[in-house]
Amino acid sequence: MQNNSRRAFIKNTAITGLGAGLLPNDMLSFPGNSPRKVKKVIVAGAGIAGLCTAYELMKRGHDVTVLEATGRHGGHVFTVHDGLSDGLYGDFGAEHITKPGYERYWSYLNELGVEALPYPRRKNILRRIDGKFYTEEMLRDKVVLKTLGFNEKEIAFLSKNPYWDLNSLYVKPYLSKFTDEYNPFNAGYDELDKVPIDDIYKRDGASARALEILSASNTSALFEFWRSAILNIRGVPQFPVDVFRLKGGNQMLPNAFAKKLGPRVWLNCPIQSIEHGASGVTVKYKRFGEEQVITADYLVNCIPLPAFRKIPVTPAFPPEKQFVIDNIQYDSYQRFVFQASSKFWEKDNLSINMEFDHPDLWAVWQSADEVDTHRVIILGTGSGGISVQRALAVFRELYPGSKDTIEQAVSRDWTKEAFSSTCERVNFPLGELHKFWPEIIKPHGRIHFAGAYADNLNWGMEASTRSAYRAANEIDMA
């Protein structure tokens, strides 16, 4: 799981409605549409998907209540200030956004006046390979590439293309047949769902070094072609370098949603059970220590499925939907925030954007550089279950310069979280794409689904906002 997590890490216009107060209490109309009845909707979970779903429903005039099990909104999107000095902050969850690729997300930034900043965390990366650091220039050198074990075809490609783009050498010839990013089937590769992508790499001549970098033995060739085709259709590189983050931290967008929603968001209200039928849903939950009941026309589940499957649902979902709920798999990790008293790496003529070949600490990079202080924030990601002191010790062991000035370290181990331990959905198992897709995005009766898992590409915040918009639109149009 650690190797897959690290590999995933490294590879790793909204419809505007009218306020309900401007319309009759039970009707909402849009140009070109007949009036529609106001619907009462429960949204389960106040992560970015839940807040976005509720915001869209509210805009369209519906009566929405968000039930969140914890004492904060934002879910896996979490910006921390506690324990840090000089107004500095660190993003415990959510890393960056791209352009193109995050169109729905960008539309909300523009709509709500949230500022995005360029984020050079993926530029001038130092990569540690077999215990030695390599610059991007070194990884275009044919002599270096040959020493690392790449074959002639790969050396010719990497000498002209970024190191992170090696996957394109092997998958690009297969992508043109995909024309609909939401349909992986009928492109002529359906039978390849039973074939590991590693077999295709080997067949097409990949070296042992390339296989080490690209290996995804339990991922089907069909899935990998589809994933790469989605990026190709959106005009996004395999490893986007020009990325962005939000000024003040990535939690600024959930905060903006929550501010608009106001008292519609109920915190510390864990759901105990769900009953659903042809006419609506009934939800039992706890609030202020007492069990209470709320009914609605619809429920949108925005709780990660490992937590959602612990909630009794009556009647049970059909086998096809239950299979998805029971078998979806996620990545998880730990985020480290190091506060330093200076940009110590500059005196060593190094980049602080580093990728490590270590199981406990996968990468580090600078953030929060717009804050007016001599201090700096370095973010890091690694395995769950280790202490922040251990992560700092690994950094000091591997740092190729003379000495750091790190004076504080805090962390968030998402693997230990009760309600939001998951990050992004991992690849569907070999041969089972048809069991998950498109079932994973389908509503069942009065229950709809949104979240980072419920879209075609598992790109956290964009998948969350895309699926949220979809679920809100489905309910609005019902």
- What is the predicted pLDDT for the residue at 417? 85
Phi first, then psi: what are they for 282, rounded to 5°? -125, 130
Same domain, 140 and 192: yes
Which are the contacts of 424, defined by CB distance < 8 A and separation ≥ 6?
8, 330, 331, 452, 453, 458, 459, 460, 463
- What is the predicted pLDDT for the residue at 36? 73
Give the closest residue to 391 by CA, choosing from 427, 429, 358: 358
| 241 in any annotated domain | no
Domain boundary among 387, 416, 445: 416
Same domain, 431 and 309: yes
| 246 in any annotated domain | no
Instruction: Assign residue 289 a region (left: φ > 0; alpha: ψ between -120 and 50; beta: otherwise).
Output: left
Phi first, then psi: what are they for 161, rounded to 5°? -130, 155
Q: What is the pTM of this model?
A: 0.91
Cα–Cα distance list, 413 to 122, 252, 314 (Å): 23, 21, 33
Instruction: Identify the burial level of 112 via C-beta atoms within 10 angstroms of its C-beta, where 0-12 means exposed, 13-18 middle and 19 or more buried.
Output: middle
| 129 in any annotated domain | no
Same domain, 317 and 441: yes
| 245 in any annotated domain | no
The series of mean pLDDT values per 10 residues for the chain, 478 residues long, is 42 32 32 68 98 98 98 95 97 95 98 98 98 98 98 98 98 97 98 97 98 92 98 96 98 98 98 98 97 98 94 98 95 95 98 97 98 98 96 98 97 86 85 98 98 93 97 97
Same domain, 321 and 430: yes
Domain boundary among 416, 440, 467: 416
Domain boundary among 416, 449, 467: 416
Same domain, 229 and 148: yes
Q: Which two tokens stand for residue 144?
A: 């270096």
Same domain, 326 and 432: yes
| 191 in any annotated domain | yes
pLDDT digits (tens, 9 = 90+) for 314-370: 999 999 999 999 999 988 899 999 999 999 999 999 999 999 999 999 999 999 999
Instruction: Assign residue 400 a region (left: φ > 0; alpha: ψ between -120 and 50; beta: otherwise).
Output: alpha
Same domain, 12 and 22: yes
> Total domain count for the chain?
3
Q: What are 271's strand-pairing partners?
A: 285
Same domain, 162 and 230: yes
pLDDT digits (tens, 9 = 90+) for 271-294: 999 999 999 999 999 999 999 999
What is the average pLDDT value for the chain, to the nearest integer? Answer: 92
CATH number at residue 458: 3.50.50.60
| 384 in any annotated domain | yes
Same domain, 72 and 8: yes
What gap in Å lies between CA 123 and CA 365, rounded to an integer? 10
Same domain, 300 and 222: no
| 171 in any annotated domain | yes
Range of the domain at 203: 134-234
The residue assigned the tokens 């985020």 is 335
Same domain, 405 and 303: no
| 153 in any annotated domain | yes
Same domain, 152 and 68: no
